[in-house]
Structure 1
Amino acid sequence: MKLFIFLIFSISSALCLVPVKEGWKLVKSPLDSPHFHDVMEKIYSNIPAAKPNVRSGRIAGGELASLGQFPHLVLLYNVDKFGDTYICGSSIISHNWLLTAGHCLHEISYTTVYAGIINRILGPAVWSREVTAASGNFIFHEEYKGVQNDIALIRLVTSIPSHPHVGNIALPRRSDASVVLDGKMATVAGFGRINDVQMQPSEHLRFMSQPIYPNSKCETVFGKVNVRDTNLCLSGANGKSTCQGDSGGPLVTEIAPGRNVLVGIVSFGAESGCTLGHPLVFTRVASYLDWIEKITGIYIYD
């Protein structure tokens, strides 16, 4: 079974009536972005479905998210060294740090981050700012290689402005690493394709919930070399799945009553299709707590 790393074309925005911090701006509409028309042209042109460098997608079989439902989700509009443009998801883990998949930032020249996004066409507008790779603000795990250790951090020099629809998601505690997650329902959100046929990404943020599987179920599909203890496996049954373009997005579960935690980062799935029932593979956040604390200085509770 071939692997397919989830990435996506697109861009977006939202309005927040609070003071603008240095480096941040309010984008009232995606049309305000100088990149918007270039991205839309690439999305809606005749894109060959099998072209290997096409990076697009969304949550397949998902429900529409409500405004403020996922305040931790940040959209990344990436431009790589070849000039190709696409988007990924990421999570706010503090005012100055975003957590995403390593492959989302691989060979990226710069990204524009959009916080508070719900609809990439209509808004309401979002906070946005550019972050460049040249400034050393993209930090990969030292042993990142493809789908292995597929995790990275984005440092924001100026913290994200406050807003009711923007906020961080809790990281696991060290003691959470021993919690058996198999069978727990987990939720993932993102933008992208409605199914494996339609190439256009979703206009609205969507989400879906599925049970966490034992890693053995993903091993039978992708092999033990690709699914490790540092991964997390999720059901892709009933046409509900992450899809091309959801890379880097958050997988959240209620690890204890009333305590929602970021347990996974969208990493990869089956190349044969998003809605065929194959399981989904995430980077297991609890496996990287020491690394996150070392890089960011965010205190990880025991």
Structure 2
Amino acid sequence: MFIIKRFCDVGGYCCPAESGDFLPDPPTCGKTPAVPRIMNGKEVQLNSLPWMALLIYQNRKTLWRYSTTMCAGSLINSRYVLTAAHCLYPAGDYIKSVRLGEHDTSTNPDTVVLSNGGRKTAPPYLEVNVEDVVRHHNFYEHEKIYINDIALLRLELPVRYTREIRPICLLPDYHFANNYFENSSLRIAGWGASHIQSNKVLLSGNVKGLNPSECQKLHFRRDIHICAGGQDGTDTCKGDSGGPLMATMGTSYNEFVYLAGITSYGSSECGWRPGVYTSTIKFIDWIKTKIKP
């Protein structure tokens, strides 16, 4: 059983409890500060997806440290980022840190031009070293098909929640255990490839949840996957791996964003065929048993 602790002021700034052994509830999680390769994706409002995490890699031999748009993740509490297991160990490299509060990877801090001609500048991004990685013990790959594609990144230090950095909510399994989000409007996000080149800015797009039968050619498994996208050229693509498949629930001030899935794999024809996502609902017990203070 998890004890939920949070300390929020009237301005919406929340400080997490010192331990990271809980999964926060709304309004600590899932609240965006703004009114709310991804194909046909649009640039998101500055820091409007405050749980997005960019993974930073380091080469084992040269110790060269670099940022890449290869993989992303989602902050789920003050100490943990949830991502795809296949993102953990690219050839010769490992995840050194995660970057939170990022928008445009080519600038720091990020500044955007508003519709009225003014400018908005965000605080500098926060980069936190990864202390430990926990990959699902039954993860495996076969011809670019990933099974049990889920992993936790434990941060070296707990992060303080701000308007620009805060966790996404996780769905309670007892409400959505058999939910494939069929015909639901879902949202995807990432810094991955759009058309033929990678993106420096965070992009987001809407996709529709599909009936599992529509994804059988992608070796979809009902017990661990969600199938979505492929309509109107909108889909996750190379570089979006590990990023969130998001479901928005509620209305107005009681509207919160939940992590329905983790971008796993799909067709090489980005944008026109469905993508397959690891269902977080199916792994909620695994997540709870693996996170620690």
When normalised by structure 2's length, the TM-score is 0.73
Moved more, 120-129 or 255-264: 255-264
- The residue aligned with 1:265 is 262
SS at match of 1:216: helix
> Per-residue deviation at 1:80?
5.2
Q: Does 1:79 align with 2:58?
A: yes
When normalised by structure 1's length, the TM-score is 0.71
Q: Distance in 1 between matches of 2:192 and 2:180?
A: 30
> Per-residue deviation at 1:293?
0.4
Q: Distance in 1 between matches of 2:200 and 2:95?
A: 23
> Per-residue deviation at 1:216?
1.3
Q: For the structure 1 residues 208 and 103, does the alpha-carbon distance in structure 2 shift closer, same or farther, using more than 3 Å as the test? A: same
Q: For the structure 1 residues 239 and 82, does the alpha-carbon distance in structure 2 shift closer, same or farther, using more than 3 Å as the test? A: farther
- The residue aligned with 1:106 is 89
Q: Does 1:122 align with 2:102?
A: no
Q: Which segments of 5 or more consecutive residues in structure 2 lack a partner in the other structure?
A: 1-36, 110-123
Q: Does 1:97 align with 2:83?
A: no
> Per-residue deviation at 1:237?
1.5
Aligned pairs for 1:41-80 (under 5 A) are 58-79=37-58
- The residue aligned with 2:153 is 154
Q: Distance in 2 between matches of 1:169 and 1:82?
A: 35
Q: Distance in 2 between matches of 1:109 and 1:192?
A: 18
- The residue aligned with 1:274 is 270
Contact conserved, 1:227 with 1:281, CA < 8 A, in 2? no
- The residue aligned with 1:235 is 229
**Can you list the C-alpha shifts for 1:205-246, whole angstroms capped at 9, x where unaligned?**
110001100121111x223xx534200000211111111000
Q: For the structure 1 residues 80 and 247, does the alpha-carbon distance in structure 2 shift closer, same or farther, using more than 3 Å as the test? A: farther
- The residue aligned with 1:55 is none
Aligned pairs for 1:188-227 (under 5 A) are 188-195=188-195, 198-199=196-197, 201-219=198-216, 221-223=217-219, 226-227=220-221
Q: Distance in 2 between matches of 1:293 and 1:64?
A: 33
Q: Which segments of 5 or more consecutive residues in structure 1 lack a partner in the other structure?
A: 1-57
- The residue aligned with 2:31 is none
SS at match of 1:236: coil
- The residue aligned with 1:245 is 239
**Can you list the C-alpha shifts for 1:63-101, whole angstroms capped at 9, x where unaligned?**
110112100000002235476964311000000000000
Contact conserved, 2:129 with 2:155, CA < 8 A, in 1? no
Q: For the structure 1 residues 218 and 296, does the alpha-carbon distance in structure 2 shift closer, same or farther, using more than 3 Å as the test? A: same
Q: Distance in 2 between matches of 1:290 and 1:80?
A: 33
Identity of aligned residues (%): 28
